[in-house]
A and B are shown apart, each in its own frame.
Chain A
Amino acid sequence: MTTLDITAETLTDLTAQLLDALVPDLSALEPCADVPRLLAEAGALGASVEIGSAPPIEVALSCSPRLGALLAAAMLGAAPEALVEEELLDAVGELANILGGNVKALGEDGLPLSLPKARRAAPGTIPLNVPDGAAGFLFGGEPLALSVVTTAPSPTLTTDGARVST
């Protein structure tokens, strides 16, 4: 059995570093409990990677299409409105890949990291990759949800640090 220790604070810090490197001009992450509703209304771009196996730990992020376009535009050096779906999903997938790699470093050596899977959820549907216990934020005024989940019975992400096992 392999283990991975992570707190919501650590996940937030890793994400803040990633976002700050990408779009340093935007504001900091602001905790927001209303993110699942905001993503359900706006639709969402989501991506996830898996760490380990049997069962894997899933690291996932979901954001509004507008935030996804802003982040993709920063990576691609293009205007947000000029991006096509493939570019948006690729960029969000790469962000999940980077976040997953950074989270994986908190576990034991040798855990495999999957390729990212990215998807879009239409407005009015239940957003993908936003499980119960996901951490919600506003970044630049746009909703962003982060989660680290497994099929283990214990809570996987708490403010005081939960142990996730696989």
Chain B
Amino acid sequence: MRALVVDDSRAMRTLLTRILEQLGADVEQADDGLAALEALRRHPAPDVALVDWNMPNMDGLTLLRELRGDPVRPRALMMVTSETQHDQMVRALLAGADEYLIKPFTADAVCEKLALLGVSLADDSALEPAKALP
């Protein structure tokens, strides 16, 4: 599995990357929507992109809209955000998100969302069962 993590917080990028790498993913990072677009145009589309909503320069919602109909679009897009309101989820889904993961989240929640997206996991037993992460 190849994944792109898009978040302006280095701590959150690192956290998500650790979880995804435990699942056997090859992970690239971008710190805003513009950097994500650049990364997507440099490399073949990843299997999944996990995208924060609230970022400088280009936010996650704008990134999703930019990727609609674009050949560099990842096979699956997951919005990862603390924006928990129903209308926000609807906006994200309308903009092109395939799944929605609310912060704080657990490693198991990430795994479940990836499974819902049909993203094949190299090793979902690698996660420590009781280990929770935000």
Contact = CB atoms under 8 A, between A and B. Distances in A.
Interface of A: 17-18, 20-22, 24, 72, 74-77, 86-87, 90-91, 93-94, 97-102, 104-105, 109-110, 113, 115
Contacts, number: 77
A59 to B, nearest CB: 11
Contact of A87 (B11, B85, B104): B11
Contacts of A105: 83-85
Interface in B63-113: 81-88, 103-106
Given A21-B132, A97-B82, A98-B134, A76 B11 contact: yes
B14 A104 contact: no
Interface residues of B, number: 27
Nearest to A107: B85
A21 B85 contact: no
Contacts of B104: 17-18, 21-22, 98
B132 A109 contact: no
B10 interface: yes
